Amino acid sequence: MWAFHTPQPTQPPSLFNPPRTPPKLPSSSLTLNPSISNSTPNHNQLIQSLCKQGDLKQAFKLLSREPNPSQRTYEVLILSCADQNSLSLAQSLHSHISENGFDQDPFLVTKLISMYAALDSLDDARKVFDKTRKRTIFVWNALFRALTLAGFGEEVLGLYRKMNRIGLPSDRFTYTYVLKACVASECMVSLLNKGKEIHAHILRHGLEGYVHIMTTLVDMYARFGCVAHASFVFEKMPVRNVVSWSAMMACYAKNGKPFEALELFREMMIETQDSAPNSVTMVSVLQACAALSALEQGKLVHAYILRRGLDSVLPVISALITMYARCGELELGQRIFDRMENRDVVSWNSLISSYGLHGYGKKAMQIFQEMIHQGVSPSPITFVSVLGACSHAGLVEEGKKLFDSMRKEHGIHPSVEHYACMVDLLGRANRLEEAAKIIDEMRIEPGAKVWGSLLGSCRIHCNVELAERASHRLFQLEPHSAGNYVLLADIYAEAEMWDDVKRVRKLLETRSLQKVAGRSWIEVRRKMYSFVSVDEPNPQIELIQSLLIKLVAEMKEKGYSPQTKVVLYDLDESEKERILLGHSEKLAVAFGLINTKKGETIRITKNLRLCEDCHSFTKFISKFTNKEILVRDVNRFHHFQNGVCSCGDYW
């Protein structure tokens, strides 16, 4: 499928300590005893040697006897304080540097700022910067980097404006840091505009030839969901390396374009001769395979990972677990997890969310308890995963206890995502008033995710009153999201409130909002096929439609009744049934029946929630044709076999 080659590995320089040739020390200096070194007039080399041996306290004792510490000595001491994570020694060293008049040395200032950043003492880093009279571009860059890594993006951009006002030219590293600052905190539209301004500066100064700047631009646009902008920058890059290819793949994989991510991977394997995919690349490729339920392609990627020896990299293993689970092979994901020698919280989260996706809520909770028992502290994402698992399985009381334990037992304050999980948990169980009460009692702004969970639950249980309340807030928070209008129209339609359906449809039209088309994917013989809920060219479309008409007619005799209530239009029953036959998942199922062998599982991925009629239809098909069918919708997995779905009709 792809041609692979493996380059010789290289060791990247440390970000904290740029590469430099260390001085050659006499071998005898490594064994000198500080207690008898008073006769030596210059202790600089010995101090540096002690630092490299990790004996920082002895180095400090000797520093007090050295009348003329060199710049290199101070540099090595600064690096050692950061390496040994000692803020107290760092502050003592800083005082010593100031007393000896080195506190205005721009080189040491940059090292001090980086040291304090590494020690999570940004206030000290800011003080160093503020007290520096001669600020070179390296001093500015050191603070920009420190603040960006800590998430203070807006502060960086404010300082960047100040730097521009005093006329200090940016260098290529400055642009990298300020672009990262645009996405260091919340991705606000105003910061996107700032990123575009910086992009213009880069072009004006002719810096588009620097691959790391352009890669950071791709990543910045990707984080804002501006896929077209990221793709434009990537296509215009005169030089690309494995990082830039990986950044563009991640952009596609994380922004709903898995097809494009896999295609770019193939292109990379063909075009690149000087570098091979790294672990970051493979994570994005696995995410794309997972998004499409492309099991066969995922297995090929897994084989390549094994050949490259990347199967010991924790993020890659976690992505493999998720990929197999999202392709319906939960046992393979479990097997990979069981073979792991070391497990971090991300790998545990992957396994928990995998069982939750398949509806095994109790198993997900069991794994959560095992993780705690093994001494792994849960992260906020852990609770999102396990609460989601409870929601899919209807484990309301268990989910409520978990939510309460977050703050009491684990010191984690619930975020909007956790509240959204709780609203979803209660809403799916038709405890909508309780869900609304949680929203009313929230200490933080609910936001679109929470209100969206409530509206989705109202759609399941046709609660018009609460749906109107939730949609009113959503129209304010997400005025350009067509999905919220469609959900409200669905609820009105089920309640047969046709005038209100027309009113909501009119709102969609006047605001020029386009409903997201239902789309389904199916993998057949390592090739992906896509179907949408509208007529589209397909060599087998006539055969597919004929098969569907025949199957529906035969299944009606066995008890199948099309659920025409899901059609939003006030039409006669026959017309509604015709519309239902065009749903993308039905087209994909029929395509799978035509193109798969006897005993071969049909695997389908849907970008929206599976509608009630397609769910009922697929149950009948699995029994009628004796086929195992896996369908993963936006919420969970549905495993259809012998007329039964694994979700128990609870989704």
pLDDT reported for residue 186? 65
d(Cα 431, Cα 632) in Å, to the nearest integer?
Answer: 26
Give the tens place of pLDDT for each residue, 47-60. Answer: 999 999 989 889 99
So what's the pLDDT on residue 9?
39
Helices (H), 32-171: 44-52, 56-63, 71-83, 87-99, 106-118, 122-131, 137-149, 153-165
SS3 263: helix
Strand order in the sheet with 602-606: 527-532, 519-524, 602-606, 629-632, 637-641, 644-645
pLDDT value of residue 1: 42
All structural domains of the chain with their residue ranges: 520-645
The predicted structure's pLDDT at residue 187:
58
- At 322, list the tokens: 């998720």
Tell me the pLDDT tens digit for each residue of 563-599.
888 887 778 888 889 899 999 999 999 999 999 998 8
Spans of the chain, pLDDT less than 50: 1-40
CA-based nearest residue to 114, from 93, 141, 96: 141
Is the separation of the CB atoms in 412 and 383 below 8 Å?
yes
Q: Please report the pLDDT score of residue 3 as a whole number.
A: 40
**Model-level pTM?**
0.80
CA-nearest of 459, 477, 460 to 468 is: 459
Sequence-ordered list of residues with C-beta below 8 angstroms from that of 448, at least 6 positions apart, any chain: 474, 477, 478, 481
Residue that the structure tokens 């990929």 belong to = 323
